[in-house]
């Protein structure tokens, strides 16, 4: 390897040592042909979608239905429709969305009349897919932000009429903190879709759970921790940002919502037999101070 030999000779002349670990890393480096990054066909949606070929989760809506993407109906999600009906519509309301993935729910909120949608995505590849969708579907009232929504909730003082969190609670290390932070920013209604823990998961789930006591701002509960393991290396991984996450039981999730200020709690899409673990949707309304 000519380049590696030159590096070793240079480091010796310069008086620098080069470790075996560094040499091993250098040997794994493959040359990149940046000409492969160019598109040679006429402009079109499939060129943009092809940047993340094999990583898309969603079936795309009109006018993109004929283009290749994913298989999940996230741009026509009945959970969003249910939530909007439960809260009496979202015309003219502001929405904070946590973890938009590919912008499917964001798209629905704009089409259903939301005044403003702020959608925060920490997965950089998912964020870039959201920007592609924003361009292809000409979203005007949706703003995608790249970053950790926990840090946003901790530091930004903006309040929203609605907070929407689908598929994120069970990826948290401290899920009760997320509920508490959402409660601080939510003026009216909160939506959760999440998996929850049941004892039978300890034997049947491919990733084993360990149990510990949890406490946040005085709310005591039980946490069920699991590691992502090899799934974090699968193409298109869309879990949390740490090697592990903690689930809560169904009862603890409902108690947590009540503890942090939500009283009118409505449950839908309860799937105790969901293939990835029991799951349900919750619409919760902010308690009005007496």
Least confident of 4-13, 15-24, 230-239: 4-13
Angle CA(127)–CA(247)–CA(162) in degrees, nearest 5? Answer: 50
Res. 220: pLDDT tops 90 = yes
Q: What is the CA radius of gyration of the chain?
A: 23
What gap in Å lies between CA 248 and CA 261, rounded to an integer? 18
Task: Specify whether the CB–CB gap between 114 and 141 falls below 8 A.
Answer: yes
What gap in Å lies between CA 270 and CA 124, rounded to an integer? 31
Which among 14, 42, 48 is positioned nearest to 129, based on CA atoms? 48
pLDDT digits 0-9 by tens, 250-267: 999 999 999 999 999 999
What gap in Å lies between CA 148 and CA 224, rounded to an integer? 22
What gap in Å lies between CA 60 and CA 75, rounded to an integer? 7
pLDDT at 47: 96
Which of the four pLDDT bands, split at 50, 70 and 90, describes residue 235? low
pLDDT digits 0-9 by tens, 52-68: 999 999 999 999 999 98
Q: Residue 107: phi, psi to the nearest 5?
A: -55, -45
Average pLDDT over residues 8-35: 57
Residue whose entry in the numeric block shows the structure tokens 């004929």: 66
**What is the dotted CATH code of the domain comprising 78-286?**
3.40.50.150
Give me 78's structure tokens. Answer: 């009945």
Cβ neighbours for 23, distance < 8 A, ≥ 6 positions apart: 4, 8
What gap in Å lies between CA 218 and CA 239, rounded to an integer? 28
Task: Specify whether the CB–CB gap between 282 and 191 falls below 8 A.
Answer: yes
pLDDT at 162: 98
Least confident of 29-33, 66-70, 207-211, 212-216: 29-33
The single-letter DSSP state of residue 33 is -
- Higher-confidence residue of 206 and 76: namely 76
Domain boundaries, the chain: 2-47, 78-286
The pTM score is: 0.85
pLDDT at 21: 59
pLDDT digits 0-9 by tens, 98-125: 999 999 999 999 999 999 999 999 999 9
Which of the four pLDDT bands, split at 50, 70 and 90, describes residue 134? very high
- Higher-confidence residue of 31 and 270: namely 270
């Amino acid at each position: 390897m000519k380049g590696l030999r030159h590096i070793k000779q240079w480091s010796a002349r310069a008086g620098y040592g080069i470790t075996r670990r560094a040499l091993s890393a250098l040997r794994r480096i493959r040359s990149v042909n940046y000409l492969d990054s160019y598109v040679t066909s006429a402009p079109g949606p499939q060129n943009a979608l092809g940047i993340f070929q094999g990583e898309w989760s969603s079936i795309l809506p009109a006018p993109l239905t004929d283009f290749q993407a994913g298989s999940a109906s996230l741009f026509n999600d009945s959970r969003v429709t249910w939530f909007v009906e439960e809260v009496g519509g979202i015309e003219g309301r502001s929405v904070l969305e946590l973890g938009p993935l590919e912008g499917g729910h964001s798209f629905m909120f704009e089409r259903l009349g939301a005044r403003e949608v702020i959608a925060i995505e920490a997965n950089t590849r998912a964020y870039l897919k959201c920007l592609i969708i924003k361009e292809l579907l000409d979203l005007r009232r949706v703003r995608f932000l790249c970053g950790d929504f926990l840090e946003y909730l901790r530091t930004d003082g903006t309040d929203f009429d609605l907070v929407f969190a689908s598929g994120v609670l069970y990826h948290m290390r401290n899920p009760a903190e997320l509920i508490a932070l959402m409660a601080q920013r939510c003026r009216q209604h909160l939506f959760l879709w999440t998996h929850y823990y049941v004892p039978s998961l300890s034997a049947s789930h491919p990733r084993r759970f360990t149990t510990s006591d949890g406490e946040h701002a005085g709310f005591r509960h039980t946490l069920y921790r699991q590691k992502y393991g090899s799934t974090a290396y699968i193409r298109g991984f869309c879990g949390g940002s740490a090697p592990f996450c903690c689930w809560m039981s169904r009862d603890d999730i409902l108690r947590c919502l009540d503890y942090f200020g939500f009283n009118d709690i409505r449950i839908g899409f309860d799937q105790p037999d969901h293939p990835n673990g029991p799951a349900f949707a919750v619409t919760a309304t902010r308690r009005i101070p007496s």
